[in-house]
Amino acid sequence: MKPFISYTLARIVLLAIFLGLGYLVGLRGAILLILGFLGSGLVSLIVLNNQRSQLGSGIAGYFSRINAKIDANSRKEDLGE
């Protein structure tokens, strides 16, 4: 859960920074939002690579545990019949 929270907070902070900079430069409305999301997304690809990798590992581990439980339950059902 911690990688998810840290990655999400970092993305929100990056977006806020880009929106703030855009506002200071004089951008308003849809242009501000579009450029804010594009800029923060591009920077996050480079800056947040480590957090994204940790998040992906955590998600993969979570689904691996779910699949292992499903397989174990399937084996129990097969032996029980």
pLDDT tens per residue, range 23-59:
999 999 999 999 999 999 999 999 999 999 999 998 9
Range of the domain at 42: 2-80
**Domains of the chain: total:** 1
Query: If we measure between CA atoms, which residue out of 12, 77, 79, 14 comes closest to residue 42?
Result: 14
pLDDT of residue 77: 78
Instruction: Identify the band that residue 79 occupies on the pLDDT scale cut at 50, 70 and 90.
Output: confident
* Separation between Cα atoms, residue 37 and residue 12, nearest integer Å: 10
pLDDT of residue 75: 85
pLDDT of residue 74: 87
The pTM is what? 0.74
* Separation between Cα atoms, residue 55 and residue 12, nearest integer Å: 16
